[in-house]
Structures are given as structure tokens and as C-alpha cells.
Amino acid sequence: MASEMQTAKASKAVLVTGCASGIGKATALHLAARGWPVYATSRDGRGLDELTAAGCTALALDVNDEASMVAAVAAVTAREGAVGVLVNNAGYSQSGAIEAVPMARVRAQFETNVFGLVRLTQLVLPGMRAQRWGKVVNVSSMGGKLTFPGGGYYHATKHAVEALSDALRFEVRGFGVDVAVIEPGLIRSGFGKAATAQMNIPAVGPDDPYGAFHAHVAKATVESYERGPLARLAGEVGDVARAVEKAITASKPRARYTVSASAKLLLSQRAILSDAAWDRFLRGSFPSPGEG
């Protein structure tokens, strides 16, 4: 009974990262419409007018900046007592061949998609543990379980998110904290265009061995989201928002929520194919650098 009373009094404040557009924006709007106290964030606190009009509280939160993360968590804690729900959504895709992407960009990819997520989670957990209730929702990707050529660094970050979430789920369950992973497939959110914008990569040499490959990856990425065969299986940002809601309202949330027909199809296909068969499948869609 005492545990139930403590849970009833626990803060249910939701902190969502990366809310200026796409999945983060849709999630903040969806949860606010259902009565959750939502703290919507962007790196500088801008671009959130629609969210504040919908009842969200806007905050600046840059997952690459320790002081920014500490300040945001402190602001929510001061008003609510604790961050009750953390939705780690902020992230982007750095495309490019493994050899070709400069290390500064590789580090930036991991800082945003992995290290920022980890540090923000560390900052909210003491409050969740103290109130014996909390939800951590990490927005991963179907790309956390499979890999497409030209996306190795992005996929590596999402594989890391999957592993970290599995470990964390075990470690905090006894404190009343649940951890769930959201695995979107292709989502109509502008993600494809944003990913290709990251492909302005310096040539490896005067006769760039990856130039044609990068051009094909950029084209294939945009077409997958907009007009290719898989585009018909793409989901909407609202689908992801509803999956987040399921994860935070369930008394016993699933470890993973796969979102969109494209994710279900490709993950099922990857699960039954050997590595060699998967490589053959990819060669039907991507040119192999150095061949031909």
C-alpha cells in the first residue's frame, strides 16, 4: 500500500529531447494533449512556439553540453520534484563510407546519439529512484538491428543505444524504473533529407573511390522516404508518438516497440537471412565501391 501511495504521488513530468521538429515534436504534442506535463526541448529553446501553445513548457537542452543538460533537469526538478519520464529522442544520421567520414564528424555523431543520451539518463535517474517510479524511453531505430551501406556510423550509435537500454532495463527495474526502446523504420519526418545533408564529405583523394557510392547512397536514402517501393511502407511521426505513449502508460512495458510496416518487414527479413545472404540482398540496391 505504501508503495502504491508513493507511486501515485510520483512526478509524471515528461522531458522530451529534440522537439523542434519530427518525432520529438509529434511526441510532445501527443502527450500534452493527453494531459501529461510535458517539457519540450531544443538545443537553444527556439522553434517550440507551437508546443508552448499546446501546453508544453519549453526548455533549452543541448545534449552535447553538460551545463545545458544539468540546467534542464534542475528546472524540471524544481517545478515537479523529479523528471518522471525521459524520452531520449535527439539524434541525427551521419552518412558516408567508414573510411571517408572525418573523425570529428564520427565523434559528433556519437556525442549526440549516444553520449548525450547516456549523460541525460544519468542525470534523471536519481530523482526517479528516489520516488520509486520512472520511465526511460530511448528512440532507437530499426537501424539498431540491421545495417545499410553508407550508414555505418549512424547504425553503430543505434546498436549502442540498444545495448545500453538492455543493460539499463535490468539495472533499474528494482528501483521502479522501466526502460523501453522505440524502433522506428522509415518515418515521414524529413529524416531522409537531413541524412543526405550530412553527406558533404571531403574526397578521400584526387580520384575519390567513394564518390559514386556516396551519390548513390544519397539518392537511395531520399527515394526510400519519398517515392521508392519502401516509401509505401513508411510510417508517420504520430505512429512513433503513440508507441511512446504505450511505453510510458503500460504497467509492464515491452522492452521494444517496433514502428511502421517497413521496420517489421526489414527486421523480419534480416532475422532469417545469413550475413552472406543479407550482403547479396544489399548488393541488389547499392553499388559496391571498387567493383566495376
Half-sphere exposure of 216 (CA within 13 A, CB side): 17
How far from each other are the two terminal CA atoms of the chain, in whole angstroms?
70
Q: What share of the chain is helix, strand, coil (3-state, %, to 5)?
A: 55, 15, 35
Contact (CB, 8 A) for 254 and 247: yes
Cβ-based neighbours of 35, under 8 Å, separated by 6 or more: none
Order across the sheet with 177-184: list the strands: 57-60, 38-42, 14-16, 85-88, 134-139, 177-184, 256-259
Tell which residue, 127, 147, 146, has the closest CA to residue 83.
127
Distance between CA atoms of residues 158 and 151, nearest Å:
11
Give the three cell numbers for residue 12.
Answer: 509524471
CA 193 to chain centroid:
16
Other CB atoms closer than 10 Å to residue 126's CB: what's the count? 14
Contact (CB, 8 A) for 120 and 18: no
How many residues belong to the chain? 292
Give the three cell numbers for residue 248.
Answer: 510510458
| Selected catalytic residue, list 154, 210, 225, 257 | 154
Burial class (CB in 10 A: 0-12, 13-18, 19+), 122: exposed
Give the three cell numbers for residue 211.
Answer: 564518390
DSSP 8-state assignment for residue 273: S
Give catalytic status of residue 154 as yes or no.
yes
Catalytic residues: 154
